[in-house]
Amino acid sequence: MVWFTNKFLADLPKILVRPQLLLTLTPFICGICGAIASFDQASLAAPTTQLNSSTINPAPSLVKLKQTSSAEVLIPVKQILVVGSSILTKAEIDSIISPHLQKSLTLNQLREVADQITKIYQSRNYITSRAIIEAQEIKDGVVTIKVLEGSLAKVELKRAGDVEGRLNDDYVISRASLAAQTPLNFTRLEEELQLLRSNPLISDIRANLTSGDAPDKSILQITFTEAKSFNTRLFADNYGSVSSGIYRGGINLQEGNLTGIGDIAFGSYVRSESSNNYAFGYQYPLNPTGGTLSISAAIADSRVTQREFASLNITTASQVYEIGYRQPVVRSPREELTLSANFAFENSDSSVGGQPFNFQNQAVGDGQSQARVLRLIQDYVNRDVAGAWAFRSTFSAGLNMLGATIRNDGSPDGRFFYWTGQALRVQRLSSEDLDTLVSFRVNLQLTGDRLLSLNRFSVGGPQSIRGYRQNQNTGDAGIQGSVEFQLPVLRNEDGLAIVKLFPFLEAGSVWNTRATNPTPQTLFGVGLGAQYQPYKNLSFRIDFGIPLVNANNPGSNLQDSGIYFTVNGNF
């Protein structure tokens, strides 16, 4: 079983550094401050109205405010109307204007009332909004304060160095415009730009907010650099299954911007001694908030070459075809909550000596299983100054439809329900060193049903409990947890850690529904890993795990010795 936490750990440098993106946006902040200064001095300045005796109508209920009025003339104020505000409550407005009613005020005193409203907007980061007193007729002591709520007139986009790129301009503009609600909020705008900065299709972004054609209009000027969208990963390791060969090699290809709209296409191939694994997929962006529609296929076949079973000619194959919808419902640089719904066609078959055979119920001629699985997934990530949390909850239901396998003997079939929960905490151990970390991980699966092989919980191996074989134990349900430290011990001249150590402690257990549990049921492992990364795109890692519970494995391969290695090249 592949857990989301593996990818999360791989993305740790990007995830943990994201709160510091504000520092990279300093030019944006300076630009926005400059724009505000410009607004204060010119386009958003209140009318310089003055009041003098010549503007007073003989009727005492009518006063005209003109730009030639004297600011020292007293104006009888019975009521103050605040118009144009969409964020202030009636109680907030009343608290500001009530002390000034039924009094005679100068124009400057009325401006001070407007300034109090402006300060509230500023304190809530609506920095392009302010309240003003326009030239007006004051009838029956009614004074009107107008709120100019700032809005974004347009987004102007250009590429750094005027270099042509493949990413459509609308991809960037539509995402930056998510913060374009009126009134324009600086914090929201900054967050959207930080999210763009963390987008893998963008390597750098600079923004500046300038005044528009009207006092309440602003223009957002963005300059960005497009990142490389095609990536290739080559790897070799001994993470394979003992039954079909532990030594593997593979290639992963991904194009993150296939047609210019940020759509992703990927493919991979992994080969061991007697197994082949293929995966393909495509992800289409549905909206600027990160909603996507995806399709994928994973196809595998293998033959058991393990010495004691090789003569039996045991073969297995599986095909998984899946369509999924994913939509973030909470998005910010600090946290993200995402909901997903996937539907999968899962098919598997096995045979012995050319004859279909079911290893779960020991039935000859019953080697095929088909499941139609609906999965509802909830992901949550929260980042803080000391690290990050990640959680995933998945509800999986095997539905009796579209050819799902049904067995009436109580053995596993296409009807089931189970839940998996995963949690990860990554904690910085030093505020000065982003590479010194500790991670805590827990994976849990619960069910009351017997599950097909593709859905069972497994423990053991380099990505679960080191010191044991890959998939040492499998069960319908289980729990696995680990604690791992990341300690840099050698850095290059640029200060980048090129050698890291990874002390770890891991444990896990599985159990079955209405079936015998494996022996030993619970595994414990402790050990040390080391990684050498001489270049950004090349790394070597080796792990040595000591099993604290004897699993009585008869083999003599590296996994049985608790040794795991991987070599990765990214281009």
83 shares a domain with 130: yes
Question: Which of 455, 353, 478, 339 lies closest to 404, judged by CA?
Answer: 455
Phi and psi at residue 310, to the nearest 5°: -60, -35
169 shares a domain with 196: yes
For 488-550, the DSSP string reads: EEEE-TTS-EEEEEEEEEEEEEEE-SSSPPPSS-EEEEEEEEEEEEEETTEEEEEEEEEESS-
| 208 domain-assigned | yes
Q: Is 70 exceeded by the pLDDT of residue 42? A: no
DSSP 8-class letter at 453: G
134 shares a domain with 61: yes
What pLDDT band is residue 71 in, cutting at 50, 70 and 90? Answer: low
pLDDT number for residue 70: 54
Whether the CB-CB separation of 172 and 282 falls below 8 Å is answered with no
| 75 domain-assigned | yes
What pLDDT band is residue 8 in, cutting at 50, 70 and 90? Answer: very low
Print the domain residue range for 30.
24-34+151-226
Q: Is 70 exceeded by the pLDDT of residue 94? A: yes
Higher pLDDT, 353 or 346: 346
Give the tokens for residue 396: 């999986």
Residues 236-272 pLDDT 10s: 999 999 999 999 999 999 999 999 999 999 999 999 9
Residues 96-107 pLDDT 10s: 999 999 999 999
| 69 domain-assigned | yes
Domain boundary among 133, 148, 163: 148
What pLDDT band is residue 310 in, cutting at 50, 70 and 90? Answer: confident
140 shares a domain with 163: no
The pLDDT mean for the chain works out to 88
Give the tokens for residue 163: 């270099």
Higher pLDDT, 561 or 431: 561
208 shares a domain with 125: no
Q: Is 90 exceeded by the pLDDT of residue 51? A: no
192 shares a domain with 139: no
Q: What is the CATH number of the domain that holds 28?
A: 3.10.20.310
For 63-84, the DSSP string reads: EE-BTT--TTS-EEESEEEEES
**HEC states along 42-68?**
HHCCCCCCECCHHHECCCCCEEECECC
| 390 domain-assigned | no
Q: Is 70 exceeded by the pLDDT of residue 32? A: no
Which residues lie across from 253 on neighbouring strands? 232, 267
| 70 domain-assigned | yes
61 shares a domain with 93: yes
pLDDT number for residue 401: 96
Whether the CB-CB separation of 217 and 153 falls below 8 Å is answered with yes
- Provide mean pLDDT across the span 188-205: 95
pLDDT number for residue 64: 59
- Provide mean pLDDT across the span 214-233: 94
Higher pLDDT, 52 or 206: 206
Number of domains the chain contains: 2
Phi and psi at residue 521, to the nearest 5°: -80, -30
| 546 domain-assigned | no
Q: Is 50 exceeded by the pLDDT of residue 324? A: yes
Q: Is 60 exceeded by the pLDDT of residue 403? A: yes
172 shares a domain with 216: yes
CA–CA separation, 278 and 274 (whole Å): 14
Domain boundary among 226, 246, 279: 226
89 shares a domain with 222: no
213 shares a domain with 190: yes
| 115 domain-assigned | yes
106 shares a domain with 66: yes
Residues 134-169 pLDDT 10s: 998 888 999 999 999 999 999 999 999 888 899 999
Domain boundary among 89, 115, 148: 148
186 shares a domain with 91: no
Whether the CB-CB separation of 245 and 274 falls below 8 Å is answered with yes
| 112 domain-assigned | yes
